[in-house]
Amino acid sequence: MKNSRDGKSYSTNLAYTPPEYLKNGRVTPESVIYSFGTVLLDLLSGKHIPPSHALDMIRGKNIILLMDSHLEGNFSIEEATVVVGLASQCLQSEPRERPSAKDLVSTLAPLQTKPDVPSYVMLGISNQAPATPQRPLSPMGEACSRMDLTAIHQILVMTHYKDDEGTNELSFQEWTQQMRDMLESRKRGDFAFRDTEFKTAIDCYSQFIDVGTMVSPTVFARRSLCYLLCDQPDAALRDAMQAQCVYPDWPTAFYMQSVALAKLDMHNDAADMLNEATALEEKKQRGGRGS
Protein backbone atom coordinates (compact mmCIF):
# COMPACT_ATOMS: atom_id res chain seq x y z
CA MET A 1 0.00 0.00 0.00
CA LYS A 2 1.68 3.23 -1.05
CA ASN A 3 0.26 5.22 1.86
CA SER A 4 0.59 2.62 4.59
CA ARG A 5 3.56 0.37 3.94
CA ASP A 6 4.47 0.42 7.64
CA GLY A 7 0.86 -0.22 8.70
CA LYS A 8 0.55 3.05 10.59
CA SER A 9 -2.32 4.47 8.55
CA TYR A 10 -4.47 1.37 8.94
CA SER A 11 -7.07 1.43 11.71
CA THR A 12 -10.23 -0.48 12.52
CA ASN A 13 -13.49 1.28 11.72
CA LEU A 14 -17.07 0.04 11.88
CA ALA A 15 -17.40 0.67 8.13
CA TYR A 16 -14.83 -2.09 7.60
CA THR A 17 -16.16 -4.53 10.21
CA PRO A 18 -17.71 -7.85 9.08
CA PRO A 19 -21.53 -7.44 9.08
CA GLU A 20 -22.02 -10.49 11.29
CA TYR A 21 -19.78 -8.96 13.95
CA LEU A 22 -22.07 -5.95 14.16
CA LYS A 23 -25.00 -8.33 14.66
CA ASN A 24 -23.63 -10.71 17.28
CA GLY A 25 -20.16 -9.55 18.30
CA ARG A 26 -18.49 -12.77 17.14
CA VAL A 27 -15.51 -13.28 14.87
CA THR A 28 -15.64 -16.43 12.72
CA PRO A 29 -13.31 -17.84 10.03
CA GLU A 30 -15.61 -16.21 7.46
CA SER A 31 -15.10 -12.86 9.24
CA VAL A 32 -11.36 -13.22 8.67
CA ILE A 33 -12.03 -13.71 4.95
CA TYR A 34 -14.05 -10.46 4.98
CA SER A 35 -11.14 -8.66 6.66
CA PHE A 36 -8.78 -10.08 4.03
CA GLY A 37 -11.06 -8.52 1.43
CA THR A 38 -10.57 -5.10 3.04
CA VAL A 39 -6.80 -5.64 2.90
CA LEU A 40 -7.04 -6.50 -0.81
CA LEU A 41 -8.96 -3.25 -1.33
CA ASP A 42 -6.22 -1.30 0.45
CA LEU A 43 -3.56 -2.93 -1.72
CA LEU A 44 -5.48 -2.30 -4.93
CA SER A 45 -6.56 1.27 -4.28
CA GLY A 46 -3.81 2.68 -2.05
CA LYS A 47 -6.66 4.14 0.00
CA HIS A 48 -8.98 2.97 2.75
CA ILE A 49 -12.26 2.71 0.82
CA PRO A 50 -15.36 1.49 2.69
CA PRO A 51 -16.27 -1.94 1.28
CA SER A 52 -19.82 -0.92 0.35
CA HIS A 53 -18.52 1.95 -1.79
CA ALA A 54 -15.88 -0.26 -3.40
CA LEU A 55 -18.47 -2.90 -4.27
CA ASP A 56 -20.59 -0.23 -5.97
CA MET A 57 -17.57 0.75 -8.08
CA ILE A 58 -16.88 -2.91 -8.95
CA ARG A 59 -20.51 -3.50 -9.97
CA GLY A 60 -20.28 -0.38 -12.13
CA LYS A 61 -17.22 -1.85 -13.89
CA ASN A 62 -15.09 1.07 -12.65
CA ILE A 63 -12.11 -1.16 -11.88
CA ILE A 64 -9.51 1.22 -13.30
CA LEU A 65 -10.89 4.07 -11.19
CA LEU A 66 -10.53 1.84 -8.15
CA MET A 67 -6.88 0.99 -8.82
CA ASP A 68 -3.98 2.95 -7.34
CA SER A 69 -2.32 4.90 -10.17
CA HIS A 70 1.08 4.05 -8.69
CA LEU A 71 0.46 0.42 -9.67
CA GLU A 72 0.17 1.20 -13.39
CA GLY A 73 2.53 -0.95 -15.41
CA ASN A 74 2.90 -3.50 -12.64
CA PHE A 75 -0.14 -5.57 -13.53
CA SER A 76 -2.29 -6.57 -16.47
CA ILE A 77 -6.00 -5.80 -16.72
CA GLU A 78 -6.64 -9.54 -16.48
CA GLU A 79 -4.68 -9.80 -13.21
CA ALA A 80 -6.42 -6.74 -11.79
CA THR A 81 -9.80 -8.18 -12.72
CA VAL A 82 -9.00 -11.44 -10.91
CA VAL A 83 -7.91 -9.68 -7.71
CA VAL A 84 -10.80 -7.22 -7.76
CA GLY A 85 -13.22 -10.09 -8.28
CA LEU A 86 -11.68 -11.95 -5.36
CA ALA A 87 -12.00 -8.89 -3.13
CA SER A 88 -15.64 -8.61 -4.16
CA GLN A 89 -16.26 -12.25 -3.17
CA CYS A 90 -14.54 -11.77 0.19
CA LEU A 91 -16.75 -8.77 0.97
CA GLN A 92 -20.10 -10.49 0.45
CA SER A 93 -22.49 -9.68 3.29
CA GLU A 94 -23.47 -13.34 3.70
CA PRO A 95 -20.58 -15.32 5.24
CA ARG A 96 -21.46 -18.50 3.32
CA GLU A 97 -21.02 -16.66 0.01
CA ARG A 98 -17.36 -15.82 0.74
CA PRO A 99 -14.52 -18.00 -0.56
CA SER A 100 -12.58 -20.32 1.73
CA ALA A 101 -8.92 -19.79 2.59
CA LYS A 102 -8.09 -22.64 0.20
CA ASP A 103 -9.96 -20.83 -2.60
CA LEU A 104 -7.98 -17.65 -1.89
CA VAL A 105 -4.67 -19.48 -2.20
CA SER A 106 -5.65 -21.28 -5.41
CA THR A 107 -6.73 -17.96 -6.99
CA LEU A 108 -3.77 -15.86 -5.88
CA ALA A 109 -0.93 -18.39 -6.27
CA PRO A 110 -0.86 -18.26 -10.11
CA LEU A 111 -0.47 -14.46 -9.94
CA GLN A 112 2.74 -14.69 -7.90
CA THR A 113 5.63 -13.99 -10.29
CA LYS A 114 8.55 -13.91 -7.81
CA PRO A 115 7.78 -16.59 -5.21
CA ASP A 116 11.40 -16.80 -4.02
CA VAL A 117 11.80 -13.08 -3.30
CA PRO A 118 10.81 -12.03 0.25
CA SER A 119 8.09 -9.38 0.44
CA TYR A 120 10.31 -6.98 2.39
CA VAL A 121 12.87 -7.05 -0.45
CA MET A 122 10.20 -6.29 -3.07
CA LEU A 123 8.91 -3.43 -0.92
CA GLY A 124 12.38 -2.09 -0.16
CA ILE A 125 11.90 -2.13 3.59
CA SER A 126 14.03 -3.47 6.42
CA ASN A 127 13.58 -6.98 7.75
CA GLN A 128 14.69 -5.86 11.21
CA ALA A 129 12.24 -5.66 14.09
CA PRO A 130 10.91 -2.10 14.56
CA ALA A 131 12.63 -0.24 17.36
CA THR A 132 10.71 0.12 20.57
CA PRO A 133 9.36 3.65 21.08
CA GLN A 134 12.03 6.20 21.99
CA ARG A 135 9.46 8.35 23.78
CA PRO A 136 8.88 7.68 27.49
CA LEU A 137 6.46 4.82 28.05
CA SER A 138 3.41 5.07 30.28
CA PRO A 139 3.04 2.53 33.11
CA MET A 140 0.85 0.41 30.80
CA GLY A 141 3.33 0.70 27.95
CA GLU A 142 6.21 -0.19 30.24
CA ALA A 143 4.37 -3.23 31.60
CA CYS A 144 3.51 -4.42 28.09
CA SER A 145 7.04 -3.93 26.78
CA ARG A 146 8.28 -6.17 29.62
CA MET A 147 5.32 -8.56 29.20
CA ASP A 148 4.71 -8.09 32.93
CA LEU A 149 1.24 -9.62 33.22
CA THR A 150 1.05 -8.95 36.96
CA ALA A 151 1.59 -5.22 36.42
CA ILE A 152 -0.95 -5.16 33.56
CA HIS A 153 -3.46 -6.86 35.86
CA GLN A 154 -2.95 -4.21 38.54
CA ILE A 155 -3.42 -1.40 36.01
CA LEU A 156 -6.64 -2.90 34.60
CA VAL A 157 -8.03 -3.37 38.13
CA MET A 158 -7.28 0.27 38.98
CA THR A 159 -8.65 1.60 35.67
CA HIS A 160 -11.95 -0.26 36.24
CA TYR A 161 -14.53 0.75 33.57
CA LYS A 162 -13.73 4.42 33.03
CA ASP A 163 -12.85 3.81 29.38
CA ASP A 164 -16.26 2.28 28.64
CA GLU A 165 -18.02 5.65 28.89
CA GLY A 166 -20.02 6.32 25.75
CA THR A 167 -19.66 2.82 24.28
CA ASN A 168 -23.18 1.82 25.38
CA GLU A 169 -26.47 3.69 25.26
CA LEU A 170 -29.23 1.68 26.93
CA SER A 171 -32.90 2.54 26.88
CA PHE A 172 -35.15 2.07 29.89
CA GLN A 173 -36.81 -0.88 28.15
CA GLU A 174 -33.50 -2.72 27.98
CA TRP A 175 -33.22 -2.94 31.77
CA THR A 176 -34.83 -6.37 31.83
CA GLN A 177 -34.16 -9.28 34.14
CA GLN A 178 -31.80 -10.62 31.48
CA MET A 179 -29.93 -7.32 31.65
CA ARG A 180 -29.64 -7.53 35.41
CA ASP A 181 -28.42 -11.13 35.18
CA MET A 182 -25.85 -10.09 32.59
CA LEU A 183 -24.51 -7.30 34.79
CA GLU A 184 -24.40 -9.71 37.71
CA SER A 185 -22.21 -12.02 35.57
CA ARG A 186 -19.88 -9.12 34.88
CA LYS A 187 -19.78 -8.24 38.57
CA ARG A 188 -18.83 -11.81 39.47
CA GLY A 189 -16.18 -11.68 36.76
CA ASP A 190 -14.82 -8.45 38.22
CA PHE A 191 -14.49 -9.99 41.68
CA ALA A 192 -12.77 -13.06 40.24
CA PHE A 193 -10.47 -10.86 38.13
CA ARG A 194 -9.54 -8.77 41.16
CA ASP A 195 -8.85 -11.91 43.21
CA THR A 196 -6.72 -13.44 40.41
CA GLU A 197 -9.17 -16.29 39.84
CA PHE A 198 -8.70 -16.02 36.11
CA LYS A 199 -10.50 -19.15 34.89
CA THR A 200 -13.60 -18.12 36.86
CA ALA A 201 -13.28 -14.60 35.43
CA ILE A 202 -13.18 -16.03 31.89
CA ASP A 203 -16.40 -17.98 32.52
CA CYS A 204 -18.23 -14.99 34.02
CA TYR A 205 -17.07 -12.52 31.38
CA SER A 206 -18.04 -15.03 28.66
CA GLN A 207 -21.58 -15.15 30.07
CA PHE A 208 -21.71 -11.35 29.91
CA ILE A 209 -20.36 -11.23 26.34
CA ASP A 210 -22.61 -14.03 25.04
CA VAL A 211 -25.79 -12.12 25.96
CA GLY A 212 -24.69 -9.34 23.61
CA THR A 213 -26.93 -6.53 24.91
CA MET A 214 -23.94 -4.51 26.10
CA VAL A 215 -20.52 -4.44 24.47
CA SER A 216 -17.66 -3.52 26.79
CA PRO A 217 -14.10 -3.01 25.53
CA THR A 218 -12.88 -3.30 29.12
CA VAL A 219 -14.42 -6.77 29.50
CA PHE A 220 -12.66 -7.90 26.32
CA ALA A 221 -9.35 -6.45 27.58
CA ARG A 222 -9.77 -8.14 30.95
CA ARG A 223 -10.68 -11.49 29.42
CA SER A 224 -7.73 -11.10 27.05
CA LEU A 225 -5.38 -10.82 30.02
CA CYS A 226 -7.08 -13.80 31.69
CA TYR A 227 -6.42 -15.87 28.58
CA LEU A 228 -2.76 -14.80 28.61
CA LEU A 229 -2.46 -15.83 32.24
CA CYS A 230 -4.05 -19.18 31.33
CA ASP A 231 -1.55 -19.66 28.48
CA GLN A 232 -4.06 -19.12 25.67
CA PRO A 233 -2.44 -16.34 23.57
CA ASP A 234 -4.58 -16.98 20.46
CA ALA A 235 -7.78 -16.36 22.43
CA ALA A 236 -6.13 -13.37 24.10
CA LEU A 237 -5.33 -11.83 20.71
CA ARG A 238 -8.92 -12.34 19.49
CA ASP A 239 -10.30 -10.55 22.55
CA ALA A 240 -7.84 -7.67 22.21
CA MET A 241 -8.93 -7.29 18.57
CA GLN A 242 -12.57 -7.37 19.64
CA ALA A 243 -11.82 -4.56 22.10
CA GLN A 244 -10.36 -2.54 19.23
CA CYS A 245 -13.48 -3.16 17.12
CA VAL A 246 -15.63 -1.74 19.92
CA TYR A 247 -13.33 1.22 20.61
CA PRO A 248 -11.06 1.69 17.54
CA ASP A 249 -8.61 4.21 19.03
CA TRP A 250 -8.32 2.71 22.52
CA PRO A 251 -4.63 2.35 23.44
CA THR A 252 -5.32 -0.52 25.85
CA ALA A 253 -6.67 -2.67 23.00
CA PHE A 254 -3.41 -2.16 21.08
CA TYR A 255 -1.30 -2.76 24.18
CA MET A 256 -3.05 -6.07 24.81
CA GLN A 257 -2.57 -7.07 21.17
CA SER A 258 1.16 -6.31 21.47
CA VAL A 259 1.52 -8.64 24.46
CA ALA A 260 -0.51 -11.43 22.81
CA LEU A 261 1.53 -11.13 19.60
CA ALA A 262 4.77 -11.31 21.59
CA LYS A 263 3.49 -14.44 23.34
CA LEU A 264 2.84 -15.90 19.88
CA ASP A 265 6.47 -15.10 18.91
CA MET A 266 5.30 -12.50 16.37
CA HIS A 267 7.80 -9.97 17.66
CA ASN A 268 7.84 -7.59 14.67
CA ASP A 269 4.06 -7.26 14.83
CA ALA A 270 4.21 -6.90 18.61
CA ALA A 271 6.69 -4.03 18.33
CA ASP A 272 4.51 -2.32 15.69
CA MET A 273 1.48 -2.64 17.92
CA LEU A 274 3.35 -1.27 20.94
CA ASN A 275 4.41 1.77 18.89
CA GLU A 276 0.82 2.27 17.74
CA ALA A 277 -0.49 2.01 21.30
CA THR A 278 2.06 4.52 22.57
CA ALA A 279 1.20 7.02 19.83
CA LEU A 280 -2.53 6.66 20.52
CA GLU A 281 -2.00 7.12 24.24
CA GLU A 282 -0.03 10.32 23.66
CA LYS A 283 -2.79 11.60 21.37
CA LYS A 284 -5.47 10.84 24.00
CA GLN A 285 -3.48 12.59 26.70
CA ARG A 286 -3.15 15.69 24.52
CA GLY A 287 -6.87 16.09 24.06
CA GLY A 288 -9.16 13.11 24.21
CA ARG A 289 -10.69 10.36 26.22
CA GLY A 290 -8.31 8.43 28.49
CA SER A 291 -6.37 5.25 27.82
What DSSP string runs through 200-269? HHHHHHHHHHHH-SS--HHHHHHHHHHHHHTT-HHHHHHHHHHHHHHSTT-HHHHHHHHHHHHHTT-HHH
Highest mean pLDDT pick, 74-88, 200-214, 250-264: 250-264
Phi and psi at residue 92, to the nearest 5°: -65, 140
Homologous superfamily of 14-123:
Transferase(Phosphotransferase) domain 1 (1.10.510.10)
Reading phi first (left if > 0) and then psi (alpha if -120 to 50, else beta), residue 219 is in alpha
Would you kindly state where each structural domain of the chain is located, as residue ranges? 14-123, 139-287
Cβ pair 222, 201 in contact under 8 A: yes
Query: Rounded to whole angstroms, what are the CA distances from 93 to 20, 88, 146?
Result: 8, 10, 41
How much is the pTM? 0.60
* Residue with more model confidence, 172 or 32: 32
**Which pLDDT value is given to residue 39?**
85
Rounded to an integer, the average pLDDT of 175-200 is 88
Question: How many CA atoms lie less than 13 Å away from 104 in the CB half-sphere?
Answer: 18
**Which pLDDT value is given to residue 274?**
94
Rounded to an integer, the average pLDDT of 246-260 is 93
Q: What type of residue is 199? A: K
Cβ pair 80, 65 in contact under 8 A: no
**Which pLDDT value is given to residue 16?**
63
What number of residues does the chain have?
A: 291
Task: Give residues with Cβ within 8 angstroms of 75, minimum separation 6.
Answer: none
* Residue with more model confidence, 213 or 248: 248
Q: Is the pLDDT of residue 290 over 50?
A: no
**Which pLDDT value is given to residue 122?**
66
Query: Any idea which fold 139-287 has?
Result: 1.25.40
**Which pLDDT value is given to residue 164?**
80
Question: How many CA atoms lie less than 13 Å away from 48 in the CB half-sphere?
Answer: 15
* Residue with more model confidence, 117 or 231: 231
Q: How many angstroms separate the CA atoms of 150 and 143, rounded?
A: 9
Rounded to an integer, the average pLDDT of 194-206 is 96
**Which pLDDT value is given to residue 127?**
63
Check residue 8 and report its DSSP letter. Answer: T
> What is the percent of the chain where pLDDT is above 70?
75
Question: How many CA atoms lie less than 13 Å away from 229 in the CB half-sphere?
Answer: 20
